[in-house]
Amino acid sequence: MPQFVLLRERVELDEVAPILTTVHRADDAEGAADLARLIHGIAAATHRRRLRASR
């Protein structure tokens, strides 16, 4: 599960539904790149929301 790997690396996401509801094939390099971009976007948004909340 991607969320376990992310938490192990101390990457916390406040929204995981888009990741968990998308089917990913292990042999699809383009799909893996899309998944990485999706995770990066959600992580960046999570970071921005946490910064706003802490003000």
CA distance 13 to 15: 5
User: What is the model's pLDDT at position 25?
Assistant: 78
User: What is the model's pLDDT at position 3?
Assistant: 72
CA distance 30 to 50: 30
* Blockwise average pLDDT, block size 10, the chain, 55 residues: 79 86 82 89 94 91
Question: Is residue 35 within 8 Å of 2, Cβ to Cβ?
Answer: yes
User: What is the model's pLDDT at position 6?
Assistant: 83
User: What is the model's pLDDT at position 1?
Assistant: 59
Q: Tell me the pLDDT tens digit for each residue of 27-38.
A: 899 988 988 899
Q: Where are the domains of the chain?
A: 2-53
DSSP 22: S
**Cβ–Cβ contacts within 10 Å for residue 13, how many?**
18
